[in-house]
Amino acid sequence: MAKVRLVDQIKRIMKMMMDSVT
């Protein structure tokens, strides 16, 4: 379960980074 949470956090950060780059 901890891994799933980590992936969710990474996905959120990636989305934020992408939004910032755009």
Predicted confidence (pLDDT) per residue in 1-22, tens digit: 688 999 999 999 999 999 998 7
DSSP character at residue 22: -
Quick one: pLDDT at residue 2? 82
Instruction: Kindly list the distances between the CA atom of residue 4 and the CA atoms of 1, 16, 19, in Å, as whole numbers in the listed order.
Output: 5, 19, 23
The predicted structure's pLDDT at residue 6 = 96
> What pLDDT, on a 0 to 100 scale, did the predictor assign at position 17?
95
In Å, how far are 1, 2, 11, 19, 21 from 16, measured between CA atoms?
23, 21, 9, 5, 9
